[in-house]
Amino acid sequence: MAPAKVNLVIEVLGKRPDGYHEIDTILQTIALSDRVRVTFGREGIAVTGPFAEGTPTDDRNLALRAGKLLAERLGRREPFAIELDKQIPAAGGLGGGASDAATVLRLLQRRWPEATDDLLFEVAAEVGSDEAFFLVGGTARARGRGERVERLPSLPRHGVVLFVPPETIEQKTARMFSALGQLPFDDGAVASSFAREVPSRFRAEDVYNAFERVAYDMFPGLTSLSEDLERRIQRPVRLAGAGPTLYWIGAIEAAGEVASAASGAACTIIASETIDSLWLK
């Protein structure tokens, strides 16, 4: 299983010399997951599931790229194929592609025992920014461009309801970071405060997402969707990652009521909950 994530905190601290942005973020895995299978003796990638559309089936696919890179680093020539059952909406800010990649690395590690955790983290950092977090999962803080991950005490079980708009925008993340570059950067205080003492109760009101300062101007219809959802559920919704997915988080027993109240809004509604790491040893 390759779980999705939400960012409870995202602070963008500034532009780095390498062209990336320095971030300080608190991430949390949730139960919504892609199903990932690796088989040996043949090559290729197959994508199925309700959110298969938009998932590449060539070397642009992060899971395939991660697997090939690990094989190259180990000098392995054993052919393998990847099957992805996409339950996580693509390009929605939920980390599905990065989670698929991390899961493939873990599955290959079972087959190739010389693939150390250190090597997996090196490969993950080369493939992208969220992959390293998904090698850890649960509740964690990520810094740098996302590759420096610190496991935190687990957030107690919370309900999460996702609201996925029907469309996103091209080159979303790059455009969002570019827009943020015109505004003052964050100082990391929110993430530092969270990391010092993980709260026992977390609400949508507690989410901090620097991308919210630009997202509502960049995603067509996102403002009206957010307003409609908040009228329906009588609770705030927040941006997931770099968007455009919106989400509510709160008491586990309220999740069903929130999902039901949102019925009829112009989005896909997915009820889920927070989960701990799948990879604790």
Enzyme catalytic residues: 5, 130
- Report how far apart, in Å, the C-alpha atoms of 203 and of each of 108, 189, 194 are: 37, 18, 13
User: Which letter, b or e, does each residue of 234-252 get, where b requires 16 or more Cβ atoms within 10 Å of its Cβ?
Assistant: ebbbbbbbbbbbbbbbbee
β-bridge pairing 44-48 and 80-85: parallel
What are residue 249's DSSP bridge partners? 160
Listed in sequence order, the DSSP H helices in the chain are 62-74, 96-111, 117-127, 131-134, 172-180, 189-196, 212-218, 222-233, 255-261
CA separation for the pair 119, 51 (Å, rounded): 30
Peptide bond connecting 89 to the previous residue in cis, omega within 30 degrees of 0: no
- The region, left, alpha or beta by phi > 0 then psi within -120 to 50, assigned to residue 137 is left
The angle at the Cα of 189, spanning 185 to 194, to the nearest 5 degrees, equals 130
CA separation for the pair 138, 279 (Å, rounded): 9
Closest CA to 33 of 95, 126, 115: 95
- Report how far apart, in Å, the C-alpha atoms of 274 and of each of 5, 148, 157 are: 9, 22, 6
Residue 226, judged by CB atoms within 10 A of its CB (0-12, 13-18, 19+), counts as buried
Tokens (6 digits) for 38: 């690796």
